[in-house]
């Protein structure tokens, strides 16, 4: 694990630390990529975390989400010690059984879901996993299936956007 000290800064509403170039190069080498998010694990003030290092507005940043900052008792403006290393563990989100059953019963929706970007798949699965009541889960699974079939869906703002990407437009045709 490589360690560095940095000041916690904020861009827009997001606290972050800048990853030093030498550490970034090692992370990119270990991840075998120079573009896109790099999954990492490490420590913030000695407290463990798992997240990604991302490039935004020309700078590679390690964003410090609220649980990370609270656990490490860190605020914007603090000088912190960060330990970081590439994390090769797969980042998967479990799918609710009812959702998997619904996909198995609908070929078009299943194919559309598989064509979605992994980040969009995770967004949908995280949302479904956050639902507490069985009725709410059922209702929202129905909405996701409708979305995947290209049907207009009310009340699914996080998944359906007014302007879809080109890939999403092709999926729902």
pLDDT in tens, 63-78: 999 999 999 999 999 9
How much is the pLDDT for 111?
A: 95
Query: Do 76 and 25 fall within a single domain?
Result: yes
Residue 141 has pLDDT above 80, yes or no: yes
Residues 9 and 55 in one domain: yes
Range of the structural domain that residue 135 is part of: 97-171
Structural domains in the chain (count): 2
**Cα distances (angstroms) measured from residue 171 to each of 108, 119, 141, 145, 150:** 9, 15, 18, 13, 8
Q: Based on the domain organization, do 40 and 110 belong to the same domain?
A: no
What pLDDT does residue 162 have? 42
109 φ, ψ to 5°?
Answer: -65, -40
- Report residue 155's pLDDT band, with 50, 70 and 90 as the boundaries: low
* pLDDT value of position 159: 46
Domain boundary among the residues 49, 66, 86 is at: 86
Average pLDDT over residues 48-63: 93
Under the banding of pLDDT at 50, 70 and 90, the label for residue 156 is low
Q: What is the pLDDT of residue 157?
A: 53
Q: What is the mean pLDDT of the chain?
A: 88
Residue (of 57, 92, 89, 73) closest to 8 by Cα position: 73
- CA atoms of 17 and 171, how far apart (whole Å): 37
Last residue of a domain, one of 26, 52, 86: 86
Both 7 and 82 in a single domain?
Answer: yes
- Asked if residue 25 has pLDDT above 80, the reply is yes
The contacts of residue 150 (CB under 8 Å, 6+ apart) are 112, 171, 172, 173
Q: How far apart are CA 127 and CA 5, in angstroms?
A: 35
Largest CA distance in the chain: 53
On whether residue 17 sits in a domain, the answer given is yes
Higher-confidence residue of 169 and 97: namely: 97
Co-location of 108 and 137 in the same domain: yes
SS3 category, 153 = coil
- In this structure, the answer to whether residues 108 and 75 fall within a common structural domain is no
- Sheet containing 14-18, strands listed edge to edge, beginning at the edge strand earlier in sequence: 2-7, 79-86, 38-44, 47-56, 59-63, 14-18, 9-11
155/37: higher pLDDT = 37
Among candidate residues 86, 105, 124, the one where a domain is terminated: 86
Segments of 12-145 assigned E as strands: 14-18, 38-44, 47-56, 59-63, 79-86
Q: What is the pTM of this model?
A: 0.63
Handedness of CA 142, 147, 150, 155 (dihedral sign): positive
Residue 170 has pLDDT above 60, yes or no: no
Q: Is residue 91 part of a domain?
A: no
């Amino acid at each position: 694990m490589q360690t560095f000290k940095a000041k916690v800064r904020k861009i827009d509403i997001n606290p972050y630390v800048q990853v030093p170039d030498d550490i970034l190069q090692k992370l990119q080498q270990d991840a075998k990529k120079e573009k896109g998010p790099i999954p990492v694990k490490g420590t913030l003030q000695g407290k463990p975390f798992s997240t990604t290092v991302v490039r935004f507005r020309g700078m590679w940043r390690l964003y410090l989400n609220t649980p990370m900052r609270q656990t490490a008792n860190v605020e914007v403006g603090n000088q912190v010690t960060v330990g970081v290393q590439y994390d090769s563990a797969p980042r998967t989100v479990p799918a609710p059984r009812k959702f998997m059953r619904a996909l198995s019963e609908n070929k078009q929706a299943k194919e559309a879901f598989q064509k979605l970007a992994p980040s969009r798949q995770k967004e949908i699965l995280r949302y479904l996993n956050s639902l507490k009541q069985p009725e709410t889960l059922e209702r929202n699974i129905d909405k996701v299936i409708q979305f995947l079939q290209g049907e207009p869906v009310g009340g699914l703002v996080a998944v359906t956007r007014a302007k879809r990407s080109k890939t999403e437009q092709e999926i729902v045709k």
